[in-house]
Structure formats: C-alpha cells, structure tokens
Structure 1
Amino acid sequence: MPPTPPKKILYTAEAVTEGGRTGHGRTSDGRLEVQLSAPESMGGQGGPGTNPEQLFAIGYAACFQSALLGVAQGHHLDASDSHITARVGIGPTGSGGFGLQVALDLYAPHLSPADAADLMARADKRCPYSNATRGNVEVTLSVEGKAIEQTAA
C-alpha cells in the first residue's frame, strides 16, 4: 500500500550534518547542536557524542507518547505520569545494507493493562513515526515489558 502523504505540512525541521557518524550535526534554527560518535560495537571509538539511533529513539518516543496522550484524552483515560521507553537497534540485513528494529514500551501507572495495550495500538495508528516505519522497520509494542497484540484498535 503506498504511503499517504500529509494534506498540509504544518512544520518542517531542517538539520545539517558533517562527518557522518563521527561528525557534527545542528538544526538550522540553532536549537539543537550535537557531536556524533560511533559506538564501539559498530567499530567506532565510542566517543562522547550521541548517534543517529539515540536521536531516533528520542524522537520516536516523544512523538509516540504525544499520540498516546491525545488518544487517552479522547477516551477519557488518565495517562498522566506515563512514559515511553524506545529501544532502537541497528544491524546488517544480510543483503549488504543495514536495518533498524524498534521496541516501544509503555509505563502507565494509572491505566489498566487492557486500557494501556489498547492505547498503544491506537497510538501506533496515529503516530507519524509509526506510519513512516510501518512495513519497513519491525516495531514491537509492549506495556511494562509485556508484548501486546497489535491487532487491537
């Protein structure tokens, strides 16, 4: 199924990087500036900088939780004090390239396990990162470490 493009662009982020995984990155508005370092497990020196997978994990977790909070509000559920832990893995695909794998885990102390699982499934349908990765990146959803069925919602 081809992707569904946005009908209207509300915001565009712009960033420039130099030096790849061991370089430097910054946004055009100057709000974010990062030094990049390749992890030792990927053949790098493991320096003090961040890496694309960490940046992607933060972005995906923030976007996903915003979608979840919006869905929770619409269903009159209390998702306060919740957080999303995102784990982004990278590795060879076996066909000459590299691929990503993502795991998103919800901690939501004010929700029942059933409501939390339902919210995760609904947020997965709403989140632009989930929509962008669907069919390209394996994404697993869980609530407090327990995998959920993604056929809900």
Structure 2
Amino acid sequence: MTTPAAPSVGLLAPYTGDEMLPLYTTTVAVSGGEARHARASGRVVSDDGHLDLVLRLPKALGGNGGGTNPEQLFAAGFAACFHGAMTLVANARKIRLPEDIDIAATVTFGRDPTDGLFLITADLAVRLPAMDAGDAAALVAETEKVCPYAKMARVGMRSTIRLV
C-alpha cells in the first residue's frame, strides 16, 4: 500500500510542518518458512509484489547461505538511498557527478558489549575518483545531512512494535 501523494514540496526545500509529512509508505511481510525462523528460511514480500526474496542464514552465522539476509537488505537500502540523496544534492548545487561514482555499504551484525545482546553497525564508503577531493568531501558531508538512512544511523528513528 502506498501513501497518497503529498503536497508538492521541493525535495531539498525545508519543510516547516508540525508533524512528519509522509511521502511514501510501504509494507513488507516476512514469513518463517520451513524452519519457522525467518532469518534461516523466511520469505520477504512487499505489498506491491516487486520485492520477493528468500531469506537464508549466512554461513558465517551457521546457516547454509543460498539466499539474502537482513543485513544485505539494509546495506542495499542505505547505499541506494545515499546515492539518490547525493544525486539530489549534486543537481541542486549544479555539480556534475562523475559516472564512476561508487557507494558501498558494509553492515555488520554483532554482539553489543553494552548489554551482551545484538547490534548492527554500518559503514559507507563513497568513491568519487574523478572529483576534486575537497569538492567530493563537501558533497558527501551535505549528502549525509539529506539522506534519511544517514540521519537514522546518526540520531535514531521513531519506531513502534505492536502486537496485532
């Protein structure tokens, strides 16, 4: 299900409303598969059907591999969102992005020394080899302010978990 079209707001223009202005909403459902454990044998399907993947526990975590996993999905989303935000910023600033731009997200699932449970870390590596280093650094810094994944990583996000 998608959110109805929001009023036209320039994507980089400041929004001054009192509440979040939804621009797009999607729902992805996960089932547990034969192991009744989504991480090990699940299936992920988006409400529009365009995303339909099997989930498999990576070999590094004791699984058989053979499918994607939540960390790969998060890394793909983060890198794609940052790339898109960088394109918006570059266009607004009349900066021509080089064709050889490369953004790689490395996501790590690990143990949290604070509580002994689990945590996710993410590192983004942005390559802009054809750009002046100073210009590239300024573009990346501005993009980090615009990209919602970067903001979520920096300050957290509102989320709810409810039993239905």
For Structure 1 versus Structure 2, the TM-score category normalised by the shorter chain is 0.7 to 0.9
Q: Deviations over 1:19-64 (max 9, x none)?
A: 1212111001100100001112112222x11001101111110101
Alignment match, 1:149: none
Alignment match, 1:90: 109
| Partner Cα separation in structure 2 for residue 14 and residue 100 of structure 1 | 22
Structure 1 vs Structure 2 CA RMSD: 1.6
After superposition, the Cα gap between the structure-2 partners of 1:78 and 1:110, relative to the gap in structure 1 and judged at 3 Å, is: farther
In the alignment, structure 1 residue 9 sits paired with structure 2 residue 22: yes
Ranges in structure 2 where 5+ consecutive residues have no aligned partner: 1-17, 33-37, 157-164
Give the alignment partner of residue 124 of structure 1, picking from 144, 150, 155: 144
Identity among equivalent pairs (%): 37
The residue type paired with residue 134 of structure 1 is R
Alignment of 1:1-150 (within 5 A): 7-19=20-32, 20-22=38-40, 23-46=42-65, 48-81=66-99, 82-94=101-113, 95-135=115-155
| Partner Cα separation in structure 1 for residue 155 and residue 109 of structure 2 | 16
Larger Rg computed on CA atoms = 2
After TM superposition, where is structure 1 displaced by more than 6 Å over at least 4 residues in a row? none
Q: Is the 8 Å Cα contact of residues 78 and 111 (structure 1) preserved in structure 2?
A: no
Instruction: Determine which structure has greater relative contact order: mean sequence separation of CA pairs < 8 Å that are 6+ residues apart, divided by chain length.
Output: 1
More strand by share: 1
| Partner Cα separation in structure 2 for residue 73 and residue 120 of structure 1 | 14
- Paired residues in the alignment total 131
Q: Is the 8 Å Cα contact of residues 38 and 45 (structure 1) preserved in structure 2?
A: yes
TM-score (norm 2): 0.74
Q: Is the 8 Å Cα contact of residues 98 and 131 (structure 2) preserved in structure 1?
A: no
The residue type paired with residue 90 of structure 2 is A
TM-score (norm 1): 0.79
